Chains A and B, each alone.
Chain A
Amino acid sequence: MNYSRREFVKQGANALIVGLTLRNSALQVFAVEENVTRGVLPSPRSVSPNELDSWLAISSEGNVTVYTGRVDLGTGVQTSFAQVVADELDVPFEAVTMVMGDTALTTDGGKSTASSNSNRGQQPLIRAAAEARRVLLAQAANRLGAPVETLSVQDGIVSVQGNPSKKISYAEIIGNKRFNTRLKASIPPDNRGTMLEGTAPIKTGNFKLVGKSIPRVDVPEKVAGTWPYVHNVRIPGMVHGRVVFPSAPGATLITIDEDSVRGVPGVIKVVRKGNFVGVVAEREEQAIQAARQLRVTWSEGTRLPRDKHEWLRNAKKIKTEDTSRGDVVAGLAKAVKTIRATYKTPIQNHGMIGPSCAVADVRDGQATFWSGSQWIQGNRRDLAAMLGLPLEKVRGVWLEASGSYGRLACDDAAPQAALLSQAVGRPVRVQWMRQDEHAWAPMSPPTLADMQAGLDAQGKITAFVLEGWSPSHSSGESGNSVAWRLVGGNPGHTRLSGGLGGHAYDFENDRTTMHYVEELLRAIYMRGPGSYQTCFAIETFMDELAAAANADPVEFRLRHLKDPDSIAVIEAVAKNSGWQTAPPYSKKISNRRGTATGRGISNATTGRKAAVVADVEVNLETGKVRVTKAVIAVTCGRIINPEGMRHQLQGGLIQGLSRSLMEEIKLDQTRVTDSDWLSYPILRFPEIPEIETILIDRPDSEPDGVGETASIPAAAAIGNAIFDATGVRLREVPFTPFRLRQQQLERQR
């Protein structure tokens, strides 16, 4: 199939959509890609979500173009979206082209996330395809003089069953013409994505493409170096900007000494707007030099806490949410044993390999920007409001960035590029430096969870209590980009997200109290926001309870579960890992030259169900932990692309292992002190374990995304394995050698 940038769409005077599909020669394909990365954009088209034509068009050659505001974050949805649409329409996979994330061409599909793209992102595309098929079949019935019920479709050709010579193609019916069909779109206020309603039946079985491991359409160009990343945008007259960030969060600008960059060649302008400071130069390295050399004095910033978890407990509360079932006080009173523990997770950085980057061209009362944003329409609204431009004068064009894992839910580079472009009247490209991305990106916030549970004499949980503290995981989203905050007058972002709590267990008495507290540092969703932290607390606590009940951790979980999917994934990992039934840290393990081995299980629930068994090897001298093998099982409804899913699970698990073993953003009392990959290391090739993935297909239930699913159970699986190996219980992520040694020494006392 072709992908978005290969389609050059023009809207003629008669409002017909003319799709000129350049698919024949590689040379032509590159010409079109170059047009986009060089700033030549297709003419705008109607993007009303209530029009079928806004979602889908069929050319006179039978090529299908699908328009969506959802974008591919490197997870492969432009392949899987094309798969489901091709299947629904009964056209070949190669006939479908995805156009993604251009505010002048696509409707607002809501924020793109790896967990929602395959359900909420996909829903309107399937619905639009089904409606298109309904319209096409009705017209075919008319033209062929046969009732709709007697028609069948194969490869875009409608024929009469039993009389295959009576046939007509989709292209003949509608080629280059509009459907002119109204649909009902519902757009939720929480920006989770447009859903479409309609009357056409939707396939629930007999799939031809769904369930097949179709190779990703982007990989060949990614390995050839020709994929149009946002970092490659190069438009005529473009110059380079760099942002000069404050000395610390909360610091305000006192003075700028422009003389300090007088000698730097190529400098066009030092830009100041409120507390926003940037430089623009002819060449990239000149902008970098000027940003480094510019002398700026800042006020002192916000005082940051010495102990962020103590801070969480005492921080100003924004909201407390309380959910309960049964009576935990009575449940605890019945217990023969009561267990308490506190779990802490750190501030973590998304760690995009390619830093934030965007290009903006703000001139003559209008703006165009190219961004890797996960929500190009949200970025567009912010940018228009910040610049004081009418929304219709702003166009946002998405191009893929580095994998963002939530970080680009609000792209910070685009508004910065826009401010600089506005100041110099030329297109400006902004790219963050590595230290900016480590210190100034919105982060995954720290969390604290106090857990308490009672066990009866039979080893059943009588009450389960979680009290959690965390800032919202989305304070850095729309209305709160770093540039707009520095300029001032931004509305902020008040939606609360990522609260702790949630599991699949069937506890009689169960209570969760979640305190959302004020912002510590700007925060944004990171692969399983809140779920990763919740799962660490609950699943480690379950292991502690199993140990207290002298029970096997697998059996102990199963005795508290009724949910069939949770049971299925746990049983699958137990079976494939060759789980040996025994309470944690009860097996006599042979210690080979100062190492101990152990194994732990963890089970995650976030709509999707996942379970992981991790094997670890702990160096008892150094405290270093190596995960040697992991087995993961997942259910996520109907599987669209099994290999694509497997890659997501492996990737998510590896990222989860990395976060759990080594990742923690460090602060001094004024600012983030991490600035690069040495101060904030991530897992490297020699440390990657063998991974076995078990995909449990549920063909009768709707598909769901798995981008987050595998990261979530990682921490508890490793922590439980460390306990199994050493008897040391780690209740704070990450499990650094220092923490492990410290706990070992404490135990020996």
Chain B
Amino acid sequence: MKFALRVNGKLQSVDVAPETPLLYVLRNDLELDGPKFGCGLGQCGACTVILQDQAIRSCSMRVDAVGRREITTLEGIGSRGRLHPIQEAFVSEQAAQCGYCINGMIMTAKAFLDKNPRPAEPAIRQALAGNLCRCGTHLEIIRAVQRAAQTRSASPSGQSLKKRGTA
């Protein structure tokens, strides 16, 4: 079955079974490696993408449930040569060891900070409570999200975390 998906600002056409989890379409058909398979059960957060303005688990969303909604993946918020301020904050705090969970941490933090620009530390922990990290990088990740929030409030427009054109 053919689906037209709006991914990172582009319209993409895929031909897959309607019950296919969005994650496999993103990774295998669109070759977007940001979102990762961790559990396939919506329990760990490694596959997180942003649907409109909500962080969702792409492993547990059927492709036919996406509709016309805009999907943003890690690739859609910044690139190697032009990192998003949240990604920059993760580099500054060295907030990755194996890095397998980091897509989920950044995407969850992005959706959270867009709605909560000046969060207290416990609120950051709560926002990330559904994302698992096994290397124990939690403290660096918390600091990275704090740093990103500070960068945003320090910027004159207050919009530095908003991706150009999307979200």
Contact = CB atoms under 8 A, between A and B. Distances in A.
A676 B134 contact: no
A342 to B, nearest CB: 30
B38 A224 contact: no
B119 interface: no
A624 to B, nearest CB: 16
Contacts of B103: 225
B129 A685 contact: yes
A74 interface: yes
A234 B78 CA distance: 23
Interface string B134-146: 1111111110000
A226 B96 CA distance: 14
A227 B78 CA distance: 14
Interface string A463-487: 0000000000000000000000000
Nearest to B92: A215
**Most chain A CB inside 10 Å of its own CB: which residue of B16, B91, B94, B99:** B99
B79 to A, nearest CB: 6
Given A651-B97, A654-B138, A223 B87 contact: yes
B98 to A, nearest CB: 3
B14 to A, nearest CB: 11
Given A223-B87, A224-B79, A285-B21, A353 B40 contact: no
Nearest to A227: B99
B134 A403 contact: yes
A215 B20 contact: no
Contacts of B87: 223-224
Interface string B95-109: 111111111001000
A229 interface: yes
Nearest to B130: A684
A682 interface: yes
Contacts of A737: none
A198 interface: no
A30 B33 CA distance: 13
Given A220-B83, A688-B138, A225 B75 contact: yes
A296 interface: no
Contacts of A265: 17
Nearest to B101: A353
A76 B38 contact: no
**Most chain A CB inside 10 Å of its own CB: which residue of B24, B75, B80, B97:** B97
B70 to A, nearest CB: 18
B118 interface: no
A223 B36 CA distance: 12
B4 interface: no
B158 to A, nearest CB: 23
A643 B139 CA distance: 13
B53 to A, nearest CB: 20
A74 B39 contact: no
Interface residues of A, number: 61
Given A73-B98, A74-B98, A431-B37, A653 B129 contact: no
Contacts of B128: 685
B123 to A, nearest CB: 10
How big is chain B's contact interface, by range? 35 or more
Contacts of B66: none
Contacts of B131: 685
Interface string A688-729: 100100000000000000000000000000000000000000
A63 B43 CA distance: 44
A643 B138 contact: no
Contacts of A644: 94
A225 B39 contact: no
Given A352-B134, A682-B134, A686-B129, A222 B96 contact: yes
Given A283-B28, A434-B40, A225 B73 contact: yes
A653 B136 contact: yes
Contacts of A355: 37-38
B74 interface: yes
B81 interface: yes
B31 A234 contact: yes
Given A265-B17, A352-B134, A433 B40 contact: yes
Nearest to B81: A26
Given A219-B90, A225-B74, A678-B43, A647 B98 contact: no
Contacts of B44: 353, 677
Interface string A389-432: 00000000000111111000000000000000000000000010
Interface in A653-694: 653-655, 658, 676-678, 682, 684-686, 688, 691
A313 interface: no
B94 A216 contact: yes
Contact of A651 (B40, B100, B137): B137
Given A352-B134, A354-B46, A685-B142, A225 B34 contact: yes
A644 B40 CA distance: 31
Contacts of B24: 283-285
A214 to B, nearest CB: 10
A322 interface: no
B133 interface: yes
Contacts of A584: none
A402 B137 CA distance: 13
A241 interface: no
B97 A434 contact: no
Nearest to B122: A686
A220 B80 contact: yes
**Most chain B CB inside 10 Å of its own CB: which residue of A225, A402, A434, A643:** A225
**Most chain B CB inside 10 Å of its own CB: which residue of A223, A283, A433:** A223
Given A219-B90, A223-B106, 6 more contacts: A220-B91, A224-B78, A225-B74, A226-B80, A231-B37, A684-B130
Interface of A: 26, 30, 73-76, 215-216, 218-227, 229, 231-232, 234, 265, 283-285, 350-355, 400-405, 431, 433-434, 643-644, 647-648, 650-655, 658, 676-678, 682, 684-686, 688, 691
17 contacts: A26-B81, A76-B97, A219-B99, A222-B102, A223-B91, A225-B73, A225-B75, A401-B100, A433-B40, A651-B136, A655-B136, A676-B43, A685-B138, A685-B141, A685-B142, A686-B125, A688-B142
5 interchain residue pairs of minimum CB distance: A74-B98, A654-B136, A225-B34, A651-B136, A222-B99
